[in-house]
Amino acid sequence: MKQLLKTLTDTFSPSGYEDEIRKVILKEVKPLADEVRVDALGNLIARKKPAKGTKDAKKIMIAAHMDEIGVMVTHVDGNGFVRFTNIGGVYPRNLPGGHVRFANGVSGVIGLEPTTSATDVPPLNKMFIDVGADSKKNCPVKTGDVGSFERTFIDLGDKLVAKSMDDRIGCLVAIEALRALKSTPHDVYFVFTTQEEVGTRGAETSAYGIDPDLGFSIDVTGWGDTPGQKDFDVALGKGPAIKIRDGGMLADPRVVQWMVRTAEKAKVPYQREVLLGGTTDARAMQLVRGGVPVGCISIPCRYVHTPSEMVDYNDVKNAVKLIGVMLSNPVNLQLIVTL
């Protein structure tokens, strides 16, 4: 799995430009799925049909987003310095001295205009990308070109570091869960979604098309186990986190109970997650058509939305195991209604 993760995280695919990562994932899932298709927004949908003879199979959607944060050129000045804006949640304090690679292979380094204090972090419009050009005419990138952040994949044993762990680690878990799923009583749709970082757009359109009975996303979450981190009870290495709420979604309690019961019965370590900010594809899935019961399985990740996101390999393996057990057995979410 580590080699596949390296390939996934190394692949260039900011939001809206997911062609390359879709090719990589398609190669992995095509031999494993019963049906594979790509919809109008570029979502890759891999279907695993229920076992023969199954009655009343539930349609379950699992979403992991393919896209990553990045930058887009707004203009090039007369001296060849590239001005840019963000694609997704790009935080200025993480950028100075960082490397960017554009779709055409050109690389550059992020510089800052002078500030009044060495500790000041200027906004994006006071930053630039130096690609080695000395004029607008010989600059190898142009307005509208898209770039992603560059960083070498690092294997620290149990800890793995790369850019775009958010959410290539979710894609890896989904691929490996599909690989392990030999038979299921459900009609399962593994959806590798587009444009999550700019508004969970791919999950919304794909969920509308699939019309699932229930579903969940696989994404990263924050961390609470480094110096100074407070009020977030999630740590690397203690198992995947079962989301109860985040900044955009309340997970369906029945889905949470399904995940918790399955983890405990299978003796898979897990954590309970309450995230105060941010959200995932599950929010978009929850709100389509007449509504969908949803949840989320989160991979604890340090330094989210930096070029050096860190996960624990054991959490990844346990997430694969948990999802495999969940999808291999029947599920019945009883809705209690009092009139």
Does the annotation mark 196 as catalytic?
Answer: yes
In a domain, 339, yes or no: no
DSSP, residue by residue, 227-275: TT--S----TTS--EEEEE-SS-BPPHHHHHHHHHHHHHHT---EEEE-
Percent of the chain past pLDDT 70, that is, above it, reads: 99
- Are residues 28 and 100 both part of a single domain? no
Among 68, 196, 204, 309, which one carries the catalytic annotation? 196
Overall domain count for the chain: 2
Mean pLDDT calculated for residue range 239-267: 96
The residue assigned the tokens 């990553």 is: 68
pLDDT digits (tens, 9 = 90+) for 307-332: 999 999 999 999 999 999 999 999 98
**Residue 291 domain-assigned (yes or no):** yes
Asked if 315 and 249 sit in the same domain, the reply is yes
- The stretch 20-47 carries a mean pLDDT of 98
Asked whether residue 37 is domain-assigned, the answer is yes
Give me the amino acid identity at 104: N
pLDDT range class, residue 56, cuts 50, 70, 90: confident
Residue 264 sits in which domain range? Answer: 2-65+163-328
Bridge partners for 245 per DSSP = 250, 274
Predicted model pTM: 0.94
Residues 192 and 55 in one domain: yes
Same domain, 222 and 172: yes
In a domain, 157, yes or no: no
**pLDDT value at position 335?**
58
> Is 18 within a domain?
yes
Plot region of 249 (φ>0 → left; ψ -120 to 50 → alpha; else → beta):
beta
Is the pLDDT reported for residue 282 higher than 70? Answer: yes
B/e letters for 236-273, b = 16+ CB within 10 Å, e = fewer, are: bebbbbbbbebebbebbebbbebbeebbeebebebbeb
Same structural domain for residues 55 and 195?
yes
Indicate whether 221 and 279 sit together in one domain. Answer: yes
φ, ψ for residue 301, nearest 5 deg: -145, 120
Is residue 112 included in any domain, yes or no?
yes
Same domain? 56 vs 198: yes
Q: Pick from 186, 205, 161, 131: which is nearest to 324 by CA?
A: 186
Q: Are 217 and 315 in a shared domain?
A: yes
- Check pLDDT > 70 for residue 338: no
The CATH number assigned to the domain holding 116 equals: 2.40.30.40
Residue 220 and residue 305 in one domain: yes
Residue 162 DSSP SS3: strand
Pair (55, 74) in one structural domain: no
Tell me, what amino acid is at 85?
Answer: T
Indicate whether 137 and 168 sit together in one domain.
no
> What does the pLDDT average to over 90-110?
95
Whether the CB-CB separation of 315 and 301 falls below 8 Å is answered with no
Residue 51 belongs to some domain of the structure: yes
Over residues 164-178, the mean pLDDT reads 97
Measured distance CA(181)–CA(51) in Å, rounded: 11
Residue 339 has pLDDT above 80, yes or no: no
Q: What is the CATH number for 310?
A: 3.40.630.10
pLDDT at 119: 82
- Final residue before a domain boundary, out of 150, 180, 200: 150
What are residue 159's phi and psi, to 5 degrees?
A: -95, 135
User: What integer pLDDT is reported at residue 333 of this predicted model?
Assistant: 81
212 and 315 within one domain? yes
75 part of a folded domain? yes
CA end-to-end span of the chain, whole Å?
50
